[in-house]
């Protein structure tokens, strides 16, 4: 090993547990887009747990553990009948609470044939799931009503990212990487100073105002602005829960055309849900406070966003693999910069929530 590396203090001051089980259970996570969940069951790994998601025939979403307790066949390979899901192997039926209600091959019902069930709620464009202590549910999913508000146009997409969810969460709260990693996509090179970050309970916020400058081409079309026109913008970010954060681009055109609108909002939405170890479901959204976007504008905007997010995915996956493969792992030196304020708050909230569940991340230094 390089001798210089041997004498440098190693490790994270506040561990993020990215190589461990670092997923708080007692909180709302997103399980799927609403449109994904149908009466045909679907399999999805959530928090290192196989889950089957489906709708009963009356349209209500449901989620239970994706293994029949008889011979462990995935229930996601079965079908829905009324408000029951039927195992494909021997026809055992289970209700949405995970109780076995029918065993076709015998009259006596096995008393132990019960499957863990999870509370799910439909809010905005998503199905939310609580996978921890079901008696500990003390809040509703975050407010995302704008996603289905007819006054907004909502674009969205999905990635499976081969990286721990904390890496993604820290990435989307760090605005300064945009001027470098996304210099050819966002083209917003004034994002090199750290915003002011604040912590209120478990809500992280940041704010930053910018001088007149052209808006990123990712969002000009959605606001009907030319790519070379100087505008004023304010960035306001908010993370109301570890699972979701928003980034509002509050735009003011100081010299609009006659009769044209001068103020706009584009709300970015970043949702992360741990999948299997080292993998994350990443659901993104981009909403404009205009009721309709033309198909051309929607397609252009979505393609531009995907091009930028592909850059994040590529680098984060390489980072995850290198850290996993490096024998020093999380013991290597980690330097914190001024722009990491929001990310540090994330780690503080994470460690607090894990401690409340009686769990603790290894590593870290005082």
Query: How, if at all, do strands 280-288 and 153-161 pair?
Result: antiparallel
Coil/strand/helix, residue 94: strand
Q: Two tokens at 253?
A: 């055109």
The pLDDT, as a whole number, for residue 1 is 44
Entry pTM:
0.94
Q: Two tokens at 55?
A: 């709708």
Query: How, if at all, do strands 280-288 and 263-274 pair?
Result: antiparallel
Least confident of 53-57, 206-210, 256-260: 256-260
Q: Is the pLDDT of residue 2 over 70?
A: no
| Closest C-alpha among 293, 289, 301 to residue 251 | 289
Q: Is the pLDDT of residue 8 over 70?
A: no
Has residue 154 been placed in a domain? Answer: yes
Has residue 10 been placed in a domain? Answer: no
Has residue 141 been placed in a domain? Answer: no
Q: Are residues 49 and 173 in the same domain?
A: no
Q: Is the pLDDT of residue 194 over 60?
A: yes
Q: What is the mean pLDDT of residues 256-260?
A: 88
Has residue 66 been placed in a domain? Answer: yes
| Closest C-alpha among 93, 58, 99 to residue 78 | 93
Least confident of 191-195, 236-240, 266-270, 330-334: 191-195
Q: Report the alpha-carbon distance of residue 60 to residue 56 in Å, rounded.
A: 5
Has residue 362 been placed in a domain? Answer: no
For the stretch 285-327, pLDDT in tens is 999 999 999 999 999 999 999 999 999 999 999 999 999 999 9
Q: Are residues 347 and 222 in the same domain?
A: yes
Q: Is the pLDDT of residue 236 over 90?
A: yes
Has residue 16 been placed in a domain? Answer: no
Q: Report the alpha-carbon distance of residue 164 to residue 276 in Å, rounded.
A: 9
The pLDDT, as a whole number, for residue 111 is 85
For the stretch 84-114, pLDDT in tens is 999 999 999 999 999 999 999 998 888 899 9
Q: Are residues 101 and 223 in the same domain?
A: no
Contacts of 275 (CB under 8 A, 6+ apart): 44, 45, 46, 48, 160, 281
Last residue of one domain, picked from the residues 87, 102, 131: 131
Give the range of the structural domain holding residue 233, as residue numbers without chain letter: 150-356
Q: What angle do CA 76, 78, 82 make, to 5 degrees?
A: 105
Per-residue confidence at 48, pLDDT binned at 50, 70, 90? Answer: very high
Per-residue confidence at 188, pLDDT binned at 50, 70, 90? Answer: confident
Last residue of one domain, picked from the residues 78, 103, 131: 131
Q: Calculate the average pLDDT of the chain.
A: 94
Q: Are residues 107 and 175 in the same domain?
A: no
- Are 53 and 70 in contact by the 8 Å Cβ rule? The answer is no
The CATH number covering residue 338 comes to 3.90.380.10
Q: Report the alpha-carbon distance of residue 176 to residue 178 in Å, rounded.
A: 5
Per-residue confidence at 9, pLDDT binned at 50, 70, 90? Answer: low
Q: Are residues 115 and 155 in the same domain?
A: no
The CATH number covering residue 100 comes to 2.102.10.10
């Amino acid at each position: 090993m390089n001798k210089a590396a041997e004498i440098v203090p190693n490790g994270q001051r506040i561990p993020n547990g990215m190589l461990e089980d670092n997923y708080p259970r007692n909180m709302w996570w997103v399980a799927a887009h609403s449109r994904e969940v149908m009466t045909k069951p679907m399999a999805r790994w959530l928090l290192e747990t196989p889950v089957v998601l489906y709708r009963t025939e009356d349209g209500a979403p449901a989620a239970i553990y994706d293994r029949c307790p008889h011979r462990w066949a995935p229930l996601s390979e079965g079908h829905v009948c009324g408000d029951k899901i039927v195992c494909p192997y021997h026809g055992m039926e289970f209700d949405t609470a995970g109780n076995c209600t029918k065993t076709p091959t015998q009259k006596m019902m096995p008393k132990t044939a019960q499957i863990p069930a999870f509370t799910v709620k439909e809010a905005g464009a998503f199905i939310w799931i609580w996978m921890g202590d079901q008696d500990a549910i003390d809040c509703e999913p975050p407010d995302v009503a704008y996603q289905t508000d007819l006054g907004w146009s909502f674009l969205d997409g999905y990635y499976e990212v081969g990286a721990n969810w904390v890496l993604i969460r820290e990435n989307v709260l760090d605005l300064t990487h945009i001027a470098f990693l996304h210099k050819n996509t966002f083209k917003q090179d004034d994002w090199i100073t750290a915003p002011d970050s604040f912590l209120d309970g478990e809500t992280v916020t940041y704010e930053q105002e910018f001088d007149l400058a052209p808006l990123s081409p990712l969002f000009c079309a959605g606001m009907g602005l030319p790519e070379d026109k100087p505008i004023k913008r304010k960035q306001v970010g908010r993370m109301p829960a570890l699972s979701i954060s928003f980034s509002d681009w509050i735009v003011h055109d100081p010299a609009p055309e006659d009769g044209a609108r001068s103020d706009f909002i584009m709300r970015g939405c970043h949702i992360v849900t741990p999948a299997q170890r080292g993998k994350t479901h990443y659901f993104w959204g981009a909403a404009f406070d205009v009721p309709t976007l033309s198909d051309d504008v929607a397609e252009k905007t979505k393609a531009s966003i995907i091009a930028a997010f592909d850059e994040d995915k590529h680098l984060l996956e390489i980072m995850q693999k290198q850290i996993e493969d490096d024998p020093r792992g999380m013991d290597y030196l980690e330097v914190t910069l001024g722009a990491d304020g929001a990310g540090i708050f994330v780690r503080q909230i994470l460690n607090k929530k894990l401690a409340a569940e009686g769990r603790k991340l290894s590593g870290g230094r005082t």
